[in-house]
């Protein structure tokens, strides 16, 4: 029975909602309903963090990302370093080392040049640390009140290592789920920096370039199935995407997922689940079970993977669903966020 | 983390579950009042630890779920007006009104801001003297002190551009309604720990004696809830009907006196509509006459509102313990968090949202 007085579905209305940018279900609907429909092609349809294009025998990874974070400066980073790390990481999740980046800036009239200098210096440092450079760019200025100071878009190309083929559609029953460290640091650092929240801000963003850690993983085996950096929407959204794209179930062990005490405390106060909070320097890898331990050990030897651990496994049961064995030995679903009520985080 | 880890300890939880299993001899139906407790129960899968004889049903203590459709529609109407800054707890933004919701008003250009405290709205009002700032003051006794403080401060500072759209409700009248119903199934209650932190538990002693029903004031962590259930089962098996306080680290008999004084200063008891349930006499707060200048319903003369509730939504039966969310034919199909029929599917304290988020994979008998 479908009632005529049902409220019209929110997703059917004619305008963009903030939730469309959350990385959760509404974002996925926007992607499918608008962009995939318009741009439909096999490379895009793979829905990876990067497209891999073959050029004269080489496989080039290609990706772009826009950054609208508020505040622009926060503990552990700023919009500039975030913009570099974000694109480097999207390349790295395809098994690619970055070759070159572009940077485009939308500046608001009146934005202090000193802040812009601080952001660009930070970008240069971040690019150097990731072993790459910013080789082209663009600038536009919009009228006062048409922007939030500065928006940054970075684009990157990278070279995919030979023999490596990563895809969120490749997870297989029996695979292990490996996480590189504690979750939620970035999202909570941004929330703490937000005016009016008055959280004690000793939590720093984890924003970092992951290409070195990826190199360490791929040095163990090229048989890795998929890698993702759980940014917007958190680990829960990333794993739900992988489960859906691979048509498999994923079961997690709550005990194995690390959350730093400060992040836990903030999540308790704010009513957030750390599994939904953004990260900018963590990766989750789906790997064959027989090399999982060796991969974790290799990750732990890298500065960005010291807290790496196996957090779960891929199952045949419940395809498309992520479940978690709680500390009590009971089972619950780990869902994507339906919308988003957090301030802009990336 | 202190006060957290020990209340989420698996060993203690399993010991309490064993104590309940050892004690129970027949079926008992228990209700936790508060939606926060419902979420803990489902998130930690506590029904999996309990013996078959214990059935948990979920109470009306979700402020977002019981906020009447009429007040949601009124909020939507006020928030859409030019010159208004409408400030709300985030949960209310996705709650479906008759024809729209606050998120859509925001997308269409309404200045709607999410706050974690009503005092943020007072600050926004003092910083924007040319705008009318309205705070959506909903909730139970838990949020009432902060809302009272906001109105009180606005009066002290003579902030004429601040007002509050008040739809406050009270727990004991709702429990009285459930207990007085001929269809009532609830044999023991877990009373809401945060409400009792503010109000104390004398009102609940009266209910326990009058209806001969055991009531245990419970906390919000899994160990709290298992202990409260164990205490209720002990009472039921002993044939006792008393008020006991499990959440003694937060709740005292008299509650928070300064908070109660402030609430009494600003608010007075009134009849209130509960979404889906209907009018309950003397079940809420409104602003006193001395604070009428801060009452958004008076500041904004809104037209008579025609509400339209989706007839398929069974949230009202869920909140009275008569149905489970999974009994609803629309659950997980025509009613989803991103396309809700009722508020219970979107609120972070809604029972439908909790079942959808944590337990929709389980076979119906396990979900129970």
- pLDDT given for residue A201 in this prediction: 61
Domain assignment of residue B343, yes or no: no
Do the Cβ atoms of B75 and B92 come closer than 8 Å? yes
B115 touches chain A (CB under 8 A): yes
DSSP-assigned letters across all residues of A29-52: HHIIIIIIHHH--HHHHT--SSEE
| N-to-C CA span, chain B | 31
A335 touches chain B (CB under 8 A): yes
B120 touches chain A (CB under 8 A): yes
Which CATH architecture fits A49-160?
A: 2-Layer Sandwich (3.30)
Number of structural domains chain B divides into: 1
Residues B322 and B304: their CA atoms lie apart, in Å, by 32
Q: Where do the DSSP E strands lie in chain B?
A: 28-34, 54-61, 84-88, 111-114, 132-139, 162-169, 188-192, 215-218, 243-245, 267-274, 278-287
A41 touches chain B (CB under 8 A): no
Do the Cβ atoms of A296 and A220 come closer than 8 Å? no
Residues A214 and A89: their CA atoms lie apart, in Å, by 9
Domain assignment of residue B197, yes or no: no
The two tokens of residue A247 are 């048509």
- pLDDT given for residue A7 in this prediction: 32
The two tokens of residue A305 are 């993977």
- For the cut 70, the answer to whether the pLDDT of residue B56 exceeds it is yes
The CATH number of the domain where B269 resides is what?
3.40.50.11740
Residue B184 burial by Cβ neighbours in a 10 Å radius (0-12, 13-18, 19+): middle
Query: Nearest CB to A11: which of B4, B338, B341?
Result: B338
Residue span of the structural domain in which B164 resides = 65-169+255-299
pLDDT digit string, tens, across residues B226-284: 999 999 999 999 999 999 999 999 999 999 999 999 999 999 999 999 987 889 999 99
Mean pLDDT of chain B: 92
Q: What is the pLDDT along chain A (346 residues), one digit of tens a residue?
A: 333 332 333 444 578 888 888 777 788 889 999 999 999 999 999 989 999 999 999 999 999 999 999 999 999 999 999 999 999 999 999 999 999 999 999 999 999 999 999 999 999 999 999 999 999 999 999 999 999 999 999 999 999 999 999 999 999 999 999 999 999 999 999 988 876 566 666 789 999 999 999 999 999 999 999 999 999 889 999 999 999 999 999 999 999 999 998 899 888 888 889 999 999 999 999 999 999 999 999 999 999 999 999 999 999 999 999 999 999 999 999 998 766 555 555 5
Do the Cβ atoms of B296 and B133 come closer than 8 Å? no
Residue A346 burial by Cβ neighbours in a 10 Å radius (0-12, 13-18, 19+): buried
- pLDDT given for residue B186 in this prediction: 97
Residues A46 and B302: their CA atoms lie apart, in Å, by 51
pLDDT digit string, tens, across residues B295-331: 999 999 877 777 777 888 999 899 888 999 999 999 9
Residues of chain A numbered 193-232 and touching chain B (CB < 8 Å)? 196-197
**Per-residue pLDDT band at B22 (split at 50, 70, 90):** very high
Sorted by sequence, the CB contacts under 8 Å of residue A203 that are 6+ apart come out as: A75, A185, A188, A189, A192, A260, A262, A263, A266
How many CA atoms, within 13 angstroms, populate the side-chain half-sphere of residue A262?
Answer: 14
* Chain A residue at shortest CA distance from B348: A271
> Which is more confidently placed, B6 or A207?
A207
With beta carbons under 8 A apart, name residues in chain B contacting A335: 356-358
Q: Where do the DSSP E strands lie in B3-62?
A: 28-34, 54-61
Domain assignment of residue B236, yes or no: no
Complex ipTM, two decimals?
A: 0.78
Delimit the domains of chain A by residue range.
49-160, 176-333
Residues B308 and B72: their CA atoms lie apart, in Å, by 11
Mean pLDDT of chain A: 91
With beta carbons under 8 A apart, name residues in chain B contacting A25: 337-338
Residue A318 burial by Cβ neighbours in a 10 Å radius (0-12, 13-18, 19+): middle
- pLDDT given for residue A270 in this prediction: 81
Please state, for a pLDDT cut of 90, what percent of chain A lies above it. Answer: 78
- pLDDT given for residue A4 in this prediction: 32
Domain assignment of residue B126, yes or no: yes
pLDDT digit string, tens, across residues B85-122: 999 988 888 888 988 999 899 989 999 998 888 999 99
Sorted by sequence, the CB contacts under 8 Å of residue B204 that are 6+ apart come out as: B172, B175, B191, B196, B215, B217, B243
Sorted by sequence, the CB contacts under 8 Å of residue A36 that are 6+ apart come out as: A44, A45
Classify domain A176-333 by CATH number: 3.90.650.10
Tell me if domain A49-160 and domain A176-333 are identical in fold: no
Q: Where do the DSSP E strands lie in chain A?
A: 51-55, 58-67, 73-74, 77-78, 96-108, 134-142, 150-160, 176-179, 226-228, 249-253, 284-287, 309-315, 322-325, 331-333
Domain assignment of residue B266, yes or no: yes
How close does chain B come to A276, measured CA to CA in Å?
Answer: 12
How far is residue A299 from each of residues A162, A217, B240, B260, measured CA to CA in Å? 20, 7, 58, 55
* Chain B residue at shortest CA distance from A340: B90
The two tokens of residue B307 are 């509400």
- pLDDT given for residue A344 in this prediction: 59
Domain assignment of residue B291, yes or no: yes
């Amino acid at each position: 029975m479908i009632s005529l007085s049902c409220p019209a579905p929110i997703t059917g209305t004619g305008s963009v909602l903030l939730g469309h940018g959350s990385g959760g279900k509404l974002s996925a609907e926007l992607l499918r309903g608008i962009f995939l429909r318009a741009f439909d092609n096999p490379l895009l349809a793979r829905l990876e963090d990067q497209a891999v294009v073959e050029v004269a025998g080489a496989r080039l990874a290609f990706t772009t990302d826009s950054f609208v974070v508020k505040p622009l400066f926060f503990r552990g980073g700023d919009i500039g370093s975030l913009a570099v790390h974000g694109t480097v990481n999207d390349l790295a999740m395809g098994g690619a080392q970055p070759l070159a980046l572009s940077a485009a800036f939308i500046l608001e009239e009146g934005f202090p040049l000193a802040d812009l200098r601080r952001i660009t210096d930070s970008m240069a440092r971040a690019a150097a640390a990731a072993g790459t450079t910013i080789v082209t760019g663009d600038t536009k200025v919009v009228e006062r009140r048409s922007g939030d100071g500065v928006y940054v878009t970075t684009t990157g190309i990278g070279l995919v290592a030979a023999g490596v083929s990563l895809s969120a559609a490749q997870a297989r029953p029996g695979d292990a789920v490996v996480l590189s460290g504690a979750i939620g640091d970035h999202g909570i650092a941004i929330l703490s920096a937000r005016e009016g929240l008055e959280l004690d801000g000793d939590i720093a963003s984890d924003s970092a370039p992951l290409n070195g850690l990826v190199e360490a993983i791929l040095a163990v085996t090229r048989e890795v199935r998929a890698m993702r950096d759980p940014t917007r929407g958190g680990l829960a959204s990333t794993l739900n995407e992988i489960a859906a794209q691979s048509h498999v179930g994923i079961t997690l062990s709550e005990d194995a997922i690390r959350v730093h005490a400060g992040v836990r405390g903030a999540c308790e106060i704010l009513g957030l689940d750390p599994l939904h909070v953004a990260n900018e320097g963590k990766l989750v890898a789906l790997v064959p079970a027989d090399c999982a331990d060796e991969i974790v050990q290799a990750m732990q030897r890298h500065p960005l993977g010291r807290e790496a651990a196996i957090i779960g496994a891929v199952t045949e049961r419940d395809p498309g669903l992520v479940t978690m064995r709680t500390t009590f030995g009971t089972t619950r679903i780990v869902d994507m966020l339906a919308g988003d009520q957090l301030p802009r985080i990336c | 983390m202190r006060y957290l880890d020990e209340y989420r300890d698996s060993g203690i939880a399993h010991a309490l579950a064993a104590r309940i299993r050892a004690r129970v001899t027949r079926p008992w139906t228990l209700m936790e009042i508060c939606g926060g407790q419902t979420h803990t129960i489902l998130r930690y899968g506590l029904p999996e630890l309990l013996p078959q004889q214990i059935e948990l049903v979920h109470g009306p203590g979700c402020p977002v779920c019981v906020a009447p459709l009429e007040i949601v529609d009124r909020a939507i109407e006020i928030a859409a007006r030019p010159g208004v800054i409408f400030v709300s707890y985030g949960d209310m933004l996705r709650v479906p009104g008759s024809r729209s919701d606050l998120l859509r008003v925001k997308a269409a250009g309404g200045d709607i801001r999410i706050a974690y405290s009503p005092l943020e709205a007072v600050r926004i009002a003092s910083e924007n003297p040319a705008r009318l700032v309205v705070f959506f003051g909903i909730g139970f006794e838990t949020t009432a002190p902060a809302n009272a403080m906001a109105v009180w401060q606005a009066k002290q500072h003579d902030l004429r551009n601040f007002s509050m759209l008040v739809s406050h409700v009270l727990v004991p009248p709702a429990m009285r309604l459930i207990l007085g119903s001929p269809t009532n199934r609830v044999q023991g209650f877990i009373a809401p720990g945060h409400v009792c932190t503010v109000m104390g538990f004398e009102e609940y002693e009266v209910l326990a004696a009058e209806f001969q029903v055991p009531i245990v004031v419970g906390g919000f962590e899994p160990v709290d809830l298992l202990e409260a259930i164990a205490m209720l089962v002990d009472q039921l098996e002993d044939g006792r009907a008393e008020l006991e306080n499990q959440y003694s680290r937060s709740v005292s008999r008299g509650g928070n006196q300064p908070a109660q004084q402030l609430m009494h200063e600003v608010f007075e008891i009134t009849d209130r509509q509960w979404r889906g349930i209907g009018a309950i006499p003397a079940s809420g707060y409104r602003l006193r006459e001395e604070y009428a200048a801060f009452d958004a319903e008076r500041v904004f003369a809104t037209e008579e509102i025609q509400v339209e509730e989706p007839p398929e939504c069974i949230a009202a039966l869920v909140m009275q313990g008569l149905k489970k969310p999974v009994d609803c034919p629309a659950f997980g199909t025509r009613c989803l968090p991103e396309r809700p029929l009722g508020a219970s599917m979107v609120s972070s304290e809604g029972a439908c949202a909790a079942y959808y988020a944590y337990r929709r994979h389980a076979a119906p008998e396990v979900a129970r």
